[in-house]
């Protein structure tokens, strides 16, 4: 391993667990402005003093402003580090960090406060070497987990030489270190139903049952699910709501699908075939959270190979189905690499965790990729 990576990773690892604990202590579910402000305050306190900070409008109009930190250097290349501070865990289910058998449990540990802790560490360590970069930037957003509006920041960083996102890391089945270079497109399909209420006992056939319309729609649309097909399309019904009383034919309701594909066009094709009416129930479909696919595999192949050589262990690009803000940047910044955060599991569940040992290991990975993206010569 390059001695520079070993030295800098040791500095990051010495603080990472405590900083992750501070971030997890803050409950910051998507859409909660107070939680976002508190999480941003923690991050701002962990930045190097020479960093200039800016609060910029969030992509979601009602969301707390996002945080950008920048440092100007003396080198030739510009690097963006990327993360998000919001979680899917509501306040009532929040709990502080807890340690058990080498695991650090808590809301957002894997997705992605563990990654934010490492991004802050990499930012601090690189900031002490201004000759290696022209500009070093860190973007932390507050609405990644449930954003329905277009992403606001691509043009702000267009022309940067590389974007590194610190979503959770992983190893391949044969034990190699993985970084994410491909992601599927994602979208939420929301279908609203309008039927007609009636007494379910004395006049059931005078109503138009929104629940039955949605049920039929769920089966028809889910039939397009084909994850092994050419588009890698998954169409999964995840939420259904209908009815307010046990003895009333439901007049309205809502059905939600989570959809993923290698191509955004395949998701739009599913949206287009939603019927306007079933069983006399009118249906209205809307596509939300249009997230583009990411494919930086070819553009980053040499970068990932060099970073692995510098790291002293093989590093490979992998594909992942989950969405990420890195997907938005990949079209404008070809050298976009994701999955640089610590390894863990259970994301979006009460048992979410990261492996404590992986904080050091993934700090090494993030540094190796960052140094190669900046063209910093190896010391080996």
Tens digit of pLDDT for each residue in 237-285?
Answer: 999 999 999 999 999 999 999 999 999 999 999 999 999 999 999 999 9
CB burial string 305-335: b at 16+ within 10 A, e below: ebbbbbbeeebbbbebebbbbbbbbbebbeb
* Number of other residues whose CB lies within 10 A of the CB of residue 346: 15
Give the pLDDT of residue 379.
76
- CA-nearest of 286, 292, 238 to 260 is 292
Give the pLDDT of residue 380.
62
In the chain the domains, ranked by start, together with CATH numbers, are: 3-183+293-373 (3.40.630.10), 185-291 (3.30.70.360)
Q: How far apart are CA 69 and CA 51, in angstroms?
A: 6
Residues lower than pLDDT 50 in the chain: none
Contact predicate 137/159, CB 8 Å: no
Contacts 24+ apart (CB under 8 A), 33-37: 33/62, 33/63, 33/64, 35/86, 35/91, 36/63, 36/64, 36/85, 36/86, 36/142, 37/64
Give the pLDDT of residue 213.
97
- CA-nearest of 374, 358, 352 to 98 is 352
Give the pLDDT of residue 296.
97
Q: Name residues whose C-beta falls within 8 Å of residue 6's C-beta, 6 or more positions apart in sequence.
A: 364
Give per-residue pLDDT as tens, 343-374.
999 998 889 999 999 999 999 999 999 999 99
Cα atoms in the 13 Å half-sphere on the side-chain side of 18: 6
Give the pLDDT of residue 54.
98
Torsion sign over Cα 309, 313, 314, 315: negative
Give the three-class secondary structure for 183.
strand
Give the three-class secondary structure for 214.
helix
Bridge partners, residue 278, by sequence: 281
């Amino acid at each position: 391993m390059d001695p520079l990576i070993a030295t800098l990773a040791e500095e990051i690892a010495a603080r990472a667990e405590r900083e992750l604990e501070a971030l997890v202590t803050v409950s910051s579910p998507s859409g909660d402005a107070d939680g976002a402000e508190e999480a941003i305050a923690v991050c701002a306190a962990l930045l190097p003093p020479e960093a200039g900070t800016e609060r910029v409008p969030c992509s979601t109009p009602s969301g707390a402003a996002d945080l950008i930190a920048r440092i100007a250097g003396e080198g030739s290349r510009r690097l963006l580090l990327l993360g998000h501070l919001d979680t899917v865990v509501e306040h009532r289910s929040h709990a502080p960090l807890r340690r058990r058998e080498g695991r650090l449990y808590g809301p957002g540990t894997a997705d992605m406060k563990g990654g934010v802790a490492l991004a802050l560490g990499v930012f601090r360590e690189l900031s002490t070497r201004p000759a290696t970069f022209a500009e070093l930037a860190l973007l932390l957003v507050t609405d990644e987990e449930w954003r329905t509006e277009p992403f606001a920041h691509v043009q702000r960083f267009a022309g940067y030489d590389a974007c590194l996102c610190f979503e959770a890391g992983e190893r391949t089945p044969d034990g190699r270190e993985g970084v994410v270079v491909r992601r599927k497109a994602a979208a939420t399909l929301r279908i609203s139903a309008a039927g007609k209420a009636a007494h379910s006992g004395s006049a059931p056939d005078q109503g138009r049952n929104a629940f039955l319309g949605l049920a039929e729609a769920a089966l028809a649309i889910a039939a397009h699910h084909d994850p092994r097909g050419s588009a890698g399309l998954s169409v999964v019904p995840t939420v259904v709501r209908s009815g307010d009383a046990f003895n009333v034919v439901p007049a309205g309701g809502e059905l939600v699908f989570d959809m993923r594909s290698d191509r955004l066009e395949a998701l739009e094709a599913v949206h287009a075939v939603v019927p306007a009416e079933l069983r006399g129930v009118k249906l209205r479909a809307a596509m939300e959270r249009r997230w583009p696919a990411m494919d930086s595999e070819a553009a980053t192949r040499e970068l990932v190979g060099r970073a692995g050589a510098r790291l002293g262990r093989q590093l490979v690009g992998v594909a992942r189905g989950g969405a990420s803000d890195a997907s938005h940047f990949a079209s404008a910044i070809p050298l976009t690499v994701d999955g640089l955060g610590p390894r863990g599991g259970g994301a979006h569940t009460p048992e979410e965790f990261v492996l404590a040992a992986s904080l050091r290991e993934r700090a090494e990975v993030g540094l190796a990729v960052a140094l190669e993206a900046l063209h910093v010569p190896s010391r080996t």
